[in-house]
Amino acid sequence: MPKTSLLSFSLALILSAPSHILSAPVHGQEEVIPFLRGEVRVGNDPMSDGVVVLHQVSAESSGEIDSVRVDADGSFQIRLPFVPNHTSRPEIFFASAEFRGLLYFGPAVTEAVQLDSLYLIQAYDTLSVPPGGAQIPLLARNLFLEKTEDGWTATDVFRLRQDGDRTLYSPEEGIVWAYPLPNSATDFQVGQADMAPDAIRFEGGRIEVFSPLPPGERYLVIRYRISEHDFVLPLPGRTDRMEVLVREPAPAAEFHPLSLSSPVELEPGNAFRRYVADSLLDSEVRSEIAPEPWSLPAEWLGLLMAGLLGAVGIFGYRRRGSGVPPQGAPPGETFRNHLLLAIATLDEDFQEKGDTSPEARTRYEAERQEILSKLKSLP
């Protein structure tokens, strides 16, 4: 891999990872002097030959400012241009050493007190990975989900553990580690990582990492969209702990084979439903949103009730042959509806028969008047 890619990888590592300065005080100092004293190790052994380069990073610029050869015991001493004080002058110093074509970096130096401890640059022998990358176990994976209209937005946090004692790399500058994502994942973004962002790509529905991976733990945060409600999350290899955290409010869902656990609230008003499983091997998580309980829409319910009342009214009127509702019909509004329906039915029958004889009209008007009288008598 080119040194420029390794440099960006190491800068990301320095700015995001915890300090690796060894607590080995240098005795006999009465005042702080701007010297960085340290050691370069390859595994557990000192690097007996090589060059240490001092880097300075500020808001305006960054680059190499000095260099020095290591002694036979791997030790080195290099002077800083000024005593670091990140409060008054927010600049960062760090040192690097090259071993077998790869650059290794020590932690960031921002305060004077750090000059009182031995500065360690840890290098490793290398191990080339097979084509397509190495399989690296996950210490943990936390998938944060938020429901959208057409699927989910996902923030995926990976904690990898490179268990070997050598740095994994691809001699052809190929893939060092790859990991599949859900088939419908799109709109990828790289968040924080112990890897150079420009060495992380998304191709064919998976993450592809091209930067070397030294031994130890690494983490990676990516964001993407899942354009389906139910999806499959591949988990190849070993995953020590898997958690899916669904931001509330969200529909009821299952994430097999994970089990529903106690919810978490990352901050007030930001609660997550949590699903957990441990010790998974070559597995997958299958999401399934529970169907909503069936309910008749209010407008359809109103039409259904009106139809039922109409059917009852027509049946009652035609059975009795008059405007009187069926025996035992309740008083009040229901009775009023029966009478109104009886009038409408009587008018419709008279119009359809088309009998305009005086006898037919007299009979029609008498029946209609009887029903109207009953209607007027209601309270």
Per CATH, 3-123 and 138-289 having the same topology is answered: yes
Q: State both tokens at 16.
A: 């995001």
pLDDT at 328 over 70: no
- Classify the C-alpha dihedral 317-321-327-332 as positive or negative: positive
What residues pair up with 102 in beta bridges, in sequence order? 99
* CB-CB contact of 185 with 155 (8 Å): no
Distance (Å, rounded) from C-alpha 262 to C-alpha 76?
52
Residue 214: per-residue pLDDT? 94
Instruction: Give, for 340, the enclosing helix (H) or strand (E).
Output: helix 333-353
Residue 57: per-residue pLDDT? 93
Residue 365: per-residue pLDDT? 77
Angle ∠(141,144,145) on CA atoms, nearest 5: 135
> In 3D, which of 43, 26, 44, 45 has the Cα closest to residue 35?
26
Q: Confidence band (pLDDT; 50, 70, 90) for 11?
A: very low
The mean pLDDT of 351-366, rounded to a whole number, is: 76
What does the mean pLDDT of the chain come to? 82
What stretches of the chain show up as alpha helix (H) in DSSP? Answer: 3-16, 298-320, 333-353, 358-377
Distance (Å, rounded) from C-alpha 242 to C-alpha 276?
6
Residue 310: per-residue pLDDT? 54
The mean pLDDT of 326-344, rounded to a whole number, is: 62
Q: What percent of the chain has pLDDT over 70?
A: 77
Instruction: Give, for 375, the enclosing helix (H) or strand (E).
Output: helix 358-377
CA distances in angstroms from 273 to 141, 259, 344, listed in the order given: 16, 11, 57
Return the amino acid letter for 367.
E
The mean pLDDT of 298-313, rounded to a whole number, is: 55
- Classify the C-alpha dihedral 228-231-234-240 as positive or negative: positive
Q: Which range among 104-108, 266-270, 349-353 shows the weakest confidence by mean pLDDT?
A: 349-353
* CB-CB contact of 229 with 128 (8 Å): no
Instruction: Give, for 231, the enclosing helix (H) or strand (E).
Output: none
Question: To 10 degrees, what angle do helices 333-353 and 358-377 make?
Answer: 170
pLDDT top residue among 96 and 345 = 96
> 12-47: per-residue pLDDT in tens?
444 444 333 333 334 444 555 789 999 999 999 999
The mean pLDDT of 175-188, rounded to a whole number, is: 95
* CB-CB contact of 220 with 195 (8 Å): yes
CATH superfamily name and code, 138-289: tricorn interacting facor f3 domain (2.60.40.1730)
Count how many residues are written for the chain.
379
Residue 314: per-residue pLDDT? 47
Residue 368: per-residue pLDDT? 77
pLDDT at 182 over 80: yes
Q: Where are the domains of the chain?
A: 3-123, 138-289, 298-377
* CB-CB contact of 251 with 203 (8 Å): no
Residues 316-331 as b/e (b if ≥16 CB within 10 A, e otherwise) read: bbeeeeebbbeeebee
Residue 367: per-residue pLDDT? 80
> 60-101: per-residue pLDDT in tens?
888 999 999 999 999 999 999 999 998 888 899 999 999 998
Q: Which CATH number fits domain 3-123: 3.20.20.70, 3.90.850.10, 2.60.40.10, 3.40.50.300?
A: 2.60.40.10
Residue 6: per-residue pLDDT? 41
pLDDT top residue among 313 and 262 = 262
State whether residue 113 is helix, strand or coil: helix
